[in-house]
Structure 1
Amino acid sequence: MLFRYLNRSGCTNPEIYRAAQIDRKLFSAICTKPHYQPSRGTVIRLALALQLTLPEAMEFMERAGYALSSARPGDLVVTYYISRGVYDLMTIEAALYEIGEHL
């Protein structure tokens, strides 16, 4: 699923891992190790970097073994921004910081 979204994005791998603010080695591990389990925050960062729609982001999270929950304030912030097409990581992290959350 990651590779499908990478191809669709038209961006290079470095553009995506930089936008997600993750290390090249971590990105490489995610792409090359079939059983590698990235953290929840990393999956959210990748969904934002790939500029996924809310349904796509939710499926992407689910495939990685996570979910966006309406019971978690931080998830509500992420859902709010994705549903409005705002993918700027700094903006989202600032909003999360305001409520004492983080990715």
Structure 2
Amino acid sequence: MRGDKYFYRWLCLQETLAEYMAKEKEENYLDELLRRLRQSERGHVAIYKEAGMDRRYFSKLVSGQLKLPSKKAMIRLGLAMHLDLEGMQRLLHSCGYHLSASVDLDLVVMYCISQGKYDLWQVNAMLYELDLPLLE
């Protein structure tokens, strides 16, 4: 009898945990990326070209064949989609990344977004001038 009481409490906790997870779970990177691509007024070809990606890599990315893209790849896509700072942070957050004011490369990206400078070559030129790694 006592064991039944603990099992019932455990079962209630499991249902509560499942409900919590269903309510709090955020979009994964693929869902977030696909949603952003649908919202974008630009075509996929223009986006992956502006992001400096080839068609095969972009295709693997949007089909979910890549487990987790790099932070730099997601920044390049965010720039190509002309995301604002909040949109870029959400896109990066869906991959477990973020732009940090304590990282010089991230500060350059945040500056460019705030100034409406989305051109990858322009961003890379700024990074190069500061002797920082390029987004490539």
TM-score over 0.5 for the alignment? yes
Task: Give structure 1 regions of 4+ aligned residues with deviation exceeding 4 angstroms.
Answer: none
Q: CA deviation at 1:9?
A: 1.4
Superposition RMSD in Å: 1.2
Q: Does 2:72 correspond to 1:72?
A: no
Aligned equivalent of 1:63, options 79, 94, 107:
94
Q: Which residue of 1 aligns with 2:64?
A: 33
Q: Which residue of 1 aligns with 2:81?
A: 50
User: Partners in 2 of 1:5 and 1:88 — Cα distance?
Assistant: 18
Contact 1:74 1:96 in 2 (8 A): yes
TM-score (norm 2): 0.71
**Structure 1 vs Structure 2: percent identity of aligned residues?**
39
User: Partners in 2 of 1:52 and 1:44 — Cα distance?
Assistant: 10
Q: Which residue of 2 aligns with 1:5?
A: 36
Q: CA deviation at 1:35?
A: 5.6
TM-score (norm 1): 0.93
Tell me the number of residue pairs that the alignment of Structure 1 and Structure 2 aligns. Answer: 103
Give the direction of change, closer, same or farther, for the CA distance of 1:2–1:39 in structure 2 (3 Å limit). same
Contact 2:60 2:66 in 1 (8 A): no
Gapped regions of structure 2 (runs ≥ 5): 1-31
Gapped regions of structure 1 (runs ≥ 5): none
